[in-house]
Homo-oligomer: A and B are copies of this chain.
Amino acid sequence: MKPIALDAMGGDHMPQAAVQGALQAAQQGIAVILVGDETALKAELAKHRASIPIHHAPDTFGMHDPASEVRKRKDSSIVLAMRLVKDGEAAACVSMGHSGATMAAALLVLGRLKGVERPAILANIPLPSGFVALLDAGANADCRPAHLQQFAVMGAAYARVVYGKAEPLVGLMSIGEEEGKGNELTREAHQLLKATPGINFYGNVEGRDLFQGTTDVVVTDGFTGNVMLKLAEGEARMLLGLIRAALSRGGLVTKLGAALVRPAIRSVARKLDPAEYGAQPLLGVAGYAFIGHGSSEAKAVASALRTAHQAVETGLVEALSTDLAALLASA
């Protein structure tokens, strides 16, 4: 397999986390090209006495730069990383940087798959066992019903190929189970999804269904999806923090018990840690592109590279293409 192009500059802990993450991935047989400032990357590699191919990029997107600048900033690490994919020198692009800029760069350089009006970010939400695919997790704040239909087809293909579910169930996020419940967008989308061939439409799901694993895929607009994703992360952090505080604030008996249960609680925290799955695919662009958390450390970078590697191996983009073509043909 071709190497994975890693935007080694975008993110809070770059380029250190990129270099360390790439070294961890290399130990698992995953080849990487680091895209970023050559001098900084060489210095970082020297610390580890390691060697990884570097593709020099003189420019880096800051977290507060407008994504619209992507067109002008052709020498930025994110645009050059996408370019390596487009030119066939890399199998996939991974960035922990500015997600709007990553999306814009993917659209600009890779373009869209046929049948997709709006590519979406898919978030793998961890459940007690396995994951649920939530999309759109933030790429499109305002959506039309047809966008949600395309998300449903892409999410189902993803769950089939990546989760290995033969007939993944697709739910539409709403605020009531009955098809008449919801807002204008979901009421129209419900009718469209009911009539979509090739997907296994469950109907409406509610917020509480997400963590019950009622469906394998949950489709929503990028505003709601992004609010959900960040709410879920914030709540897990708050709750685990409350439990740790309650255990350490208690008397001697509680403290003794806390010492004994710490590994069990750590295993729960790890199960819910975004660093475990590392990056979210951008579905609907003509190539493999992944967006990770800006706060990613080396471990999350390595997970992201592994996630990208596995997606390429399963032929995700080819599966998406086929299913989107079928949707177009049925319209």
Interface residues of A (CB under 8 A from B): 64, 127-128, 138, 141-142, 173-175, 178, 181-184, 186, 206-212, 220-224, 226-243, 245-247, 249-250, 253-254, 256-261, 263-265, 267-268, 271-272
B253 near A260: Cβ-Cβ < 8 Å: yes
Q: How many copies are assembled?
A: 2
With beta carbons under 8 angstroms apart, the residue of B128, B184, B245, B259 that contacts A241 is B128
Chain A contact residues: helix, strand, loop or mixed:
helix
Return the 7 tightest CB-CB contacts between A and B, nearest first.
A257-B260, A207-B230, A208-B234, A207-B231, A257-B261, A141-B183, A211-B238
Residues from chain B with a CB closer than 8 A to the CB of A186 are: 223
The winner among A183, A233, A257, A259 for most chain B CB atoms within 10 A is A257
Q: How far is the CB of A266 from chain B (nearest CB, A)?
A: 9
Q: Which residues on B sit within 8 Å (CB–CB) of A233?
A: 207-208
The answer to whether A223 touches B183, judged by C-beta atoms less than 8 angstroms apart, is yes
Collect the chain B residues with CB atoms within 8 Å of residue A247's CB: 261, 264
Note all chain B residues with C-beta closer than 8 A to A272.
Answer: 239
Q: Is the CB of A264 within 8 A of B239?
A: no
Least CB separation from A262: chain B residue: B257
- Contact between A227 and B228 (Cβ–Cβ < 8 Å)? yes
Contacts A246-B268, A257-B261 supplied; 14 other A-B pairs, CB < 8 Å:
A141-B184, A175-B226, A183-B223, A186-B223, A207-B226, A208-B234, A209-B234, A211-B238, A212-B234, A231-B232, A235-B236, A235-B239, A239-B272, A256-B260
Contacts of A258 in B (CB 8 A): 257, 260-261, 264
* Contact status B254-A234, CB under 8 Å: no
The reply to whether A235 and B260 form a contact with Cβ atoms under 8 Å apart is no
